[in-house]
Structure 1
């Protein structure tokens, strides 16, 4: 599986850490091997998969049917939107990712505005509200959430989830940027191919950001949330109906120990 990791161990509210092996994130599961599935169900006791892709992505690369695992498709972007940014974003996971990423860099479309859209678009907010509702309805086992590459939509979901669990900004951005380490081999391959077509350092810098993630874009989103809502807590309340009671329940579900 692409860009797969867990959130366990991060220090959050009240000094408590996220439980090990309960919150997983990744790219699409269509390429999961039998070994991958055995790991998910055997070691992590996977119970729920939250798919953040659009329906055409799901049709083209469907998740496997895993016995005992509930599947929740939650699109975060409007369907049939004829959005060049979306098409180019998913294009980097085709048979020629370097060419797709280079085209994105040259077009200038992917400049971080997608994260702002995910944060403030009412359709996206409705999707994230469902995401949190599923997480609140938790009994045992692991929950895995993913998009296609596991870095933009799943990355934004992880940022919001870590925020709700009370992680500080440094932890949140460190997890977001971890994609650049986990996917370093794929990023290096894309850079190698891109250099065959251009020696423009500015373009190559954009290619690197697009092949992986650019933490500055996510910092911009977090700053915009604070500017518009005044605090992350107010944003979580207004956008996703996560008030103090819901936040405490979420933290009791996923953090070690229990705050009364």
Structure 2
């Protein structure tokens, strides 16, 4: 398995080129074609240059809700098409970085902590399952695959707020469609914790000063980081509902054998 690294950007911490990931049949994802990321509002002028010139970015797919886009809009980049493709409706809470949602999460965790030591893990696993079981979310991920199939040249970047939940599930579906082994998919997913550690701990320090509740801070850390069990719950939900990932990709993502082969021809080499 190739070393998983981030694109060295000044203002973005969780932006990665999936190029080089190997599939089960020995092919590899083409470099500078598929880029996952957290939100882009912190990018510097140099970051813009790196993404557009060095990585050939041509399409920016925004998975965030309308409220999130309003609070931290994407910078417009020269030669890059911007596509709004929210995975959650504006009413959905819990996975976003919206202030109201964060407060709701805290209240919910306070209620749950007295009955479950794994409140945060159970909460997140439920949210992850909803990302592939909710009709709206499935529809939006299906649109994402349509965007990928329309991308004739250059790189596609997709992002949410932290680049871990909505992007994590979308990336897992894409890598599955390309034939990347689950071990690699999980390893890529877990790198979120490495790349966002500094930002997460800084945020938790701020919250701890306000909340003065170590147990709650531990729960919030679980919400802001990832665990393998979150993504495994997605695979399990798909297999319980559809039998196999291939069946889910065909029925819900619109990836018949022909389109899946087209996707692989576009994004794989070797």
Category of TM-score, reference length = shorter chain = 0.7 to 0.9
Q: Does 1:254 align with 2:267?
A: yes
User: TM-score, normalization: structure 2?
Assistant: 0.84
SS at match of 1:28: coil
Residue of structure 2 in register with 1:65 after alignment: 76
Q: Quote the Cα distance in structure 2 between the aligned partners of 1:49 and 1:221.
A: 25
Q: Return the offset for 1:187.
A: 2.5
Residue of structure 2 in register with 1:245 after alignment: 258
How does 1:21-32 map onto structure 2 within 5 Å? Answer: 21-32=32-43
Assess if the C-alpha contact under 8 Å between 1:2 and 1:28 holds in 2: no
Q: Does 1:158 align with 2:162?
A: no
Q: Return the offset for 1:31.
A: 1.7
Residue of structure 2 in register with 1:106 after alignment: 110
Assess if the C-alpha contact under 8 Å between 1:54 and 1:75 holds in 2: yes
Q: Return the offset for 1:168.
A: 1.2
Give the root-mean-square deviation of aligned CA atoms.
2.3
Runs (5+) with no aligned partner, structure 1? none
SS at match of 1:68: coil
Assess if the C-alpha contact under 8 Å between 2:94 and 2:105 holds in 1: no
How does 1:218-233 map onto structure 2 within 5 Å? Answer: 218-233=231-246
Q: Return the offset for 1:191.
A: 4.4
SS at match of 1:219: helix
Q: Quote the Cα distance in structure 2 between the aligned partners of 1:67 and 1:232.
A: 37
Q: Quote the Cα distance in structure 2 between the aligned partners of 1:206 and 1:29.
A: 26
Runs (5+) with no aligned partner, structure 2? 1-11, 113-119
User: TM-score, normalization: structure 1?
Assistant: 0.87
SS at match of 2:97: helix
Q: Quote the Cα distance in structure 2 between the aligned partners of 1:51 and 1:67.
A: 16
Q: Return the offset for 1:244.
A: 1.1
Within the candidate set 101, 110, 119, 2:132 is matched to: 119
- How many aligned positions are there? 248
Within the candidate set 158, 171, 185, 1:172 is matched to: 185
